Amino acid sequence: MKIASWNIRGGNDPLKQKKVLDLLKNHKLDILGVLETRIKKNKANKIITNKFHAYNVICNYSAHVNGIIWLVWRPNTVTITLLIIHTQFIHCAVSHHATCNTFHLTMVYASNNARRVSNTPPCLADILDFNSCLLKCGLDDLNSTGCDMTWTNNQDIVTQVWSKLDRALVNTQWMAQFPATAVHFLPSGISDHSPSLVNVLEDKYVGPHSSFLNCWVNHPTYHDSVMKAWQTPVQGSKIFTLFRKLKNVRTQMKVLHKHSFSQIQQRVKDRKEALHECQRQIQAHLHLPELYAQEKLLLDNYMKLKRAEGSIIQQKAKVNHISYSDSFSKYLFARIHERKHQKIIGQIKDKDGHDRVGLENVALGFIDYYQHLLGSSTTTQPIDPVTDAEIKAGVFSIGSDKSPGPDGFSSAFFKASWDLVGPDFCTAVHVYFRYGRLNKQANATLIT
């Protein structure tokens, strides 16, 4: 699905009307917001009938004499329900036919008049409560490519001004539902503003492997679970053995997580309610010693789960500079959604300067670039061997929430379990440095 907006700075010129149609057709847009049209209402109907007869159009003439915002869409791909018309924006609900996705969309032409801006209703801030995409002048930000500056005053080089006025804004609910979203700013062409093209990529997003949660190391059965996994006999090379044992640990951790940490927020809520109920019982029966023992047990259980919940959220959000509390939970969850979005590269320019859109095309673009950059394989000089102490020091110098590799195990796992995993880890490192590359069996393991 493709959504775009373009400030054309006046739409009475037939050439500009043709360029708007070209943008719709050439980029196969589902929705386009045309901003600052400056077309009188008596001319608008004729233009819409003659030029945009294949599309549906909503204008804000009921709120602005010049109808400065036109919302244009393909009726065969999306259904749009108008919600709010204002002098500075059109807010609507969108249903995409092919995917059955629904969301709210707002096309905004933000006035540079201070008095008009002050009259903007509070609902403009509230509309992002639903899965929303906001295209306007002055807000940020989706991951963007293309033109860095989206507006110029088109004067000579001495007095020329460039600025990034046009932006696309989405909320965290949007990124949770449409993580592979990016905006591309096209050349401005006949206008002084660049069109902003939002690609809601339909590629199936496969999430990363499950990561090691640091709170697991504090569970009473953690060490026994790791020992059980690590002592399971494995046949193969040293590197294959290490990866197979890590896979066994992952299996054991899934069992541990399901038993003690799954649906952690609901567990915390249930323990909190049980603790409060016990404390109410104590107030009613002050002389029952068994209630005090129960309260102590419930409080200890609740505090452990609460700390685990905070640790999990902070680790996923990668936010360590604040203490977890209820007041920060919304911010932390927003950071989690933001990090998921940052992991996705939906659009790049390849080595030839051509746009590659979509996860598969982006991956091929990276492969093509590095094959061109690095060329064919060549012989390298052997690396000096390292000691077990140097390997351990290297692992222990890594932050506890960081992962040394793509397997998802944070350095906290290796630190907490070094007495078990350290020897195999060091042996695998020695084998790697001895041969200068992974053997074929290890390569096959990594690929699978």
Backbone angles phi, psi at 441, to 5 degrees: -65, -40
- Cβ atoms of 248 and 230 closer than 8 Å: yes
Measure CA 339 to chain center: 5
**Residue 278 is assigned to a structural domain of this protein:** no
Q: What does the alpha-carbon distance between residue 341 and residue 142 come to, in Å, rounded to a whole number? A: 9
**Residue 361 is assigned to a structural domain of this protein:** no
Q: What's the CA dihedral at 234, 240, 246, 251 to 10 degrees?
A: -60
Token digits of residue 331: 């911010």
Write down the pLDDT at residue 408: 77
Q: What does the alpha-carbon distance between residue 130 and residue 57 come to, in Å, rounded to a whole number? A: 23
Write down the pLDDT at residue 327: 43
| Nearest Cα residue to 121 out of 145, 86, 83, 149 | 86
Write down the pLDDT at residue 227: 94
Write down the pLDDT at residue 202: 58
| Nearest Cα residue to 170 out of 214, 215, 121, 127 | 127
pLDDT < 50 regions, the chain: 117, 122, 130, 136-141, 205-206, 208, 321-322, 324, 326-328, 437-448
- Cβ atoms of 410 and 209 closer than 8 Å: no
| Nearest Cα residue to 93 out of 101, 379, 111 | 101
Structural domains of the chain, count: 1
| CB contact set of 429 (below 8 Å; sequence gap of 6+) | 386, 391
Q: What does the alpha-carbon distance between residue 69 and residue 5 come to, in Å, rounded to a whole number? A: 10
- Cβ atoms of 174 and 128 closer than 8 Å: no
pLDDT tens for each residue of 322-380: 454 544 455 555 555 555 555 566 677 787 888 777 777 888 888 888 888 877 666 66
Measure CA 350 to chain center: 22
In the 8-state DSSP scheme, what is residue 372? H
Q: What does the alpha-carbon distance between residue 346 and residue 359 come to, in Å, rounded to a whole number? A: 5
**Residue 374 is assigned to a structural domain of this protein:** no
Token digits of residue 38: 């400056």
**Residue 365 is assigned to a structural domain of this protein:** no
Q: What does the alpha-carbon distance between residue 356 and residue 358 come to, in Å, rounded to a whole number? A: 7
- Cβ atoms of 107 and 196 closer than 8 Å: no
Extended strands (E) in 42-165:
56-59, 69-73, 78-85, 89-96, 102-108, 132-137, 144-146, 151-152, 162-163
In the 8-state DSSP scheme, what is residue 404? S
**What single letter denotes the amino acid at residue 2?**
K
Write down the pLDDT at residue 132: 59
Other Cβ atoms within 10 Å of 145 Cβ, number? 19
Write down the pLDDT at residue 137: 37
- Cβ atoms of 155 and 161 closer than 8 Å: yes
**Residue 53 is assigned to a structural domain of this protein:** yes
* CATH number of domain containing 55: 3.60.10.10
Q: Which domain holds residue 121?
A: 2-200
